[in-house]
A and B are shown apart, each in its own frame.
Chain A
C-alpha cells in the first residue's frame, strides 16, 4: 500500500497567495524527487533532494528535505495561474534498489485569478 502521504490532496489558491504541500514517509529516505503534471500532460521533473535538511530554490518554488529524511515540503510563493497542476513527490527508501521510486498520490493545485 501507499507508504508515502502527500497533504493536502487538493489545494485551492487565490492568485498571489503562498501555499505549501507536504510529502511524508514512514521510513527513512535515500532521496526524494518532485514532479509537476499539468492537466492533460505527463509528469515533469522539478528537483531532487538528497541531503538531510537540504533546501533548494527554483524562482518562486522552495523545496526542503527534513532533517530526519522522512519528509519534504514544496512551498510556492505568490502563486500564479501557471502553477496549476498536480505536484507529486517520488521517494526512494534507503533499502530500495536504484531507480525504484514510490510516488505519492499528489497535490492537485487550482489557482483562481
Chain B
C-alpha cells in the first residue's frame, strides 16, 4: 500500500513565522503535490513537482515555496505566515498521470 505521511497533524504558528510542512511518500512516485483545502472551495493546487528539483506552480502559489531535494520528500514552505494561510494542507503523490494518494493532512492555524 502506498503510504504518504505528513510531519504534523496540527500546527499553530504566529503571523510572520517561517513554517515548514514536510511530506514523505514510500512508493517511488514521480509526482508530488501540495494542496490547501478550505470549506466550499475544494482542493486548490499550490505547487507540484514532477521530479527531483523540478516544480511547477499551481493555481495559488503566492506566499508559498517548495523544495524537492529527494524523490520521496516534498516540502512546503510558508516564508512569512499570515492569517489567511490558516487552512488544511494536503500532500499527495502519484505516478505520471495516475491516481493521487493523499496524506492525512496538516491543519495549520496562524494566529
Residues of A within 8 A of B (CB): 2, 6, 9, 31, 33, 35, 42-45, 48, 88, 90, 92, 97-106
Contact = CB atoms under 8 A, between A and B. Distances in A.
26 contacts: A2-B41, A6-B42, A9-B40, A31-B97, A42-B103, A43-B102, A45-B99, A45-B101, A88-B42, A88-B43, A90-B43, A92-B97, A98-B96, A99-B33, A99-B48, A99-B50, A99-B96, A101-B45, A101-B100, A102-B45, A103-B35, A103-B43, A103-B44, A105-B40, A105-B42, A106-B42
Interface in B23-58: 31, 33, 35, 40-45, 48, 50, 56, 58
A9 to B, nearest CB: 7
A66 to B, nearest CB: 20
A33 B103 contact: no
Interface of B: 31, 33, 35, 40-45, 48, 50, 56, 58-59, 90, 92, 94, 96-105
Contacts of A6: 42
Contacts of A90: 43, 100
B41 to A, nearest CB: 6
Contacts of A105: 40-42
The 5 A-B pairs with the shortest beta carbon distances in the complex, nearest first, are A45-B99, A105-B42, A103-B43, A42-B102, A99-B31
Contact of A99 (B41, B97, B104, B105): B97
A31 B99 CA distance: 11
A100 B100 contact: no
Contacts of B105: 42
